[in-house]
Structure formats: C-alpha cells, structure tokens
Amino acid sequence: MQAVHPDALLLLDQIRAAGSPTYESLPPTEARLAHAARGRALQSGPDPMAEIRDMEAWDGKHRVPVRLYRHAEAAPGALMPCLLFLHGGGWVLGSLETHDWVCRRLARESGGCVLSVDYRLAPEHPFPAAVEDALAALRWLAREAEALGIDPARIALGGDSAGGNLAAVLALMGRDGTAPPSIFQALLYPAVDLAVAEGGYGPRTPGMVLTAETMHYFIGHYLPDPAMRFDWRASPLRAPSLRSTPPALVLTCGHDPLAREGRLYAERLEREGVRVTALHLSDLPHAVLTMDKAIGPAAALLGFVAAMLRDAWR
C-alpha cells in the first residue's frame, strides 16, 4: 500500500477511536448530520468577509438558494471575477454551511467573488435535480452579474467531489451552448464516472472517510436507475468529446476511490486539446480540503487553487 500522510493516519486513528459510523451505515438524514458535525470539527474558524449575502437564484423554473462571498470591495466602477462553487457530499450530503470555510478561504485568497450553490439533494431529489439547480444558478449568475458587481466574462466553475462532477457538466454545457460559457474549471477530486461497476474502484486503503462502499451508497441514492449512470450529465468522463471546454485544474488524491477516474479525465482533457493542470496528491485522502485543522497541507492546497483562479481571471 502506498504511503499515507501522517496527519491523515492520525485523523483515521481518531475516527476509529471515536467509533464514528460510516456514512453508508446511516440513513441520509442522519448521515447529513454526521457530515456537518465532522466539518465543524475539522475546519478552522471562518475568515472575515467584506460581504456575505444569501440570495435565491431563479431561472424561471428553479429557485435555488445561493450565498455570495466577497472578501474585499471592488474599486469604484470595477467588476470582480467570480467562482461558481458546488459543494461535495455525494449529491446526498453537504450544504452552504459545510463548505462555508472553503468558500471564504477561496474568496480571500483569489481576490474574486465566490457564489456557493445549495442544490437539491438525493434521495429526495435524484438526478437530474442537482444538475438542474447548478444550471439555474449559473444562468442567474450570468444574467445578474453586473448588478452583483461581477464581470460576466470572468466566471469560473469549481467544486469538490460531487461538486466537481457538477462543475465538469456545466463546463460541457457551456461549450455546447446550453449554459453560459465559463473560462475555467477547478475540479477537486471529482467524481466523473458514476457507471463504475462493483469492484471497479481499484486499490483500497482501509478506514478512509470515502470508500468504494460509500460511493455506491451515494450513487444508489442519486441515480437509482442504473441506466442513467451512463448519461454524460451524470458521468462526464463518458461524454463523446471534452474538446473546447475551458482550461482546467484537476486535483486527485491517492487514497481516494475517485483517483483513477479523475486522472483519466485530466488525461482526456489534455489529449483532446484542453489546457489542464493535473495535481496528484499520492499520500492524501478524499475531502482533504475540508479538513484543514487535521491535515496540514489543506490550507496551502486551497491557496494553490486560488492562485490558479487568479491566473485564469488575469
């Protein structure tokens, strides 16, 4: 088995000692509470912001709660770039609150705005509800950008895990003209192939927060119809072409069942002519960016994501 970062080993020991149940052993409502509690325990205090505004995105069909983060005021008359951020949690867990620290830190480090999207969750709202809400939020952001002090020509997409999946789907839609275009996609340990068969997740590191079993639990709730798992809006790795999508950052972690598909996605992007930065963290687990109090490199990694955004917006 490949090496594990010492901070991750310590965290896993603490989780085992506490007897924390796995997400897949819980009903979704209880798993959400456990996920939120773990986030509060493993993330630092929130960075102060110049503005935080809760709003509702509306595209004529769907009303979606969103939260705007602005670390500093723009110069008079200037429009700021913006990252549309989609949280992780397997399309079953997660909220604006679980990723509040991440969004604040990205806004602070990037110098732009972050608009976080509270899309509907499965199993109450299975596929394609999350895609519909993500699309509604992006359309609203593009339409209302100038009123919000945002430059509509400098909208980036990003998300972790399930959110990385949704960001990749929106990037493909923008390429095809069914969504507003974006200029960058930050895919942070994304899930990009939901048609993975039992046993298809490769080498396993025992005791990790996300396992193959957890992924099948999430996918079963999000896509109860197995035939839909081959739809590229669920599995962007299976899209006929990735060509002409925006430049990308694809971050993967070695101790993560999603590592293989994330790396394949980065390779396909490169092979099909898309500029891509692929960063593989061989000794770290899934969800590292939401564990900064426990895993030392997390804050620096978010700083790297923010630097990539600054470069794209420049």
161 in catalytic set: yes
Name the active-site residue from 62, 87, 99, 286: 286
Count of alpha carbons within 13 Å of 91, Cβ hemisphere only? Answer: 33
Whole-angstrom distance, CA of residue 261 vs CA of residue 190: 8
Whole-angstrom distance, CA of residue 85 vs CA of residue 246: 16
241 in catalytic set: no
Reduce the DSSP state of residue 93 to 3 states and report it.
Answer: coil
Say if CB 255 and CB 280 are below 8 A apart: no
Name the active-site residue from 7, 160, 231, 256: 256
Which residue blocks in 43-128 are alpha helix, DSSP H? Answer: 100-110
Sequence length of the chain is 314
Strand partners, 249: 186, 277
List the one residue out of 252, 244, 245 whose CA is nearest residue 187.
252
256 in catalytic set: yes
State the residue for tokens 């867990």. 93
Count of alpha carbons within 13 Å of 226, Cβ hemisphere only? Answer: 5
Name the active-site residue from 95, 110, 161, 235: 161
Reduce the DSSP state of residue 193 to 3 states and report it.
Answer: coil
List the one residue out of 257, 289, 240 whose CA is nearest residue 87.
289
Pairing of β 248-255 and β 276-285: parallel
Active site residues: 161, 256, 286
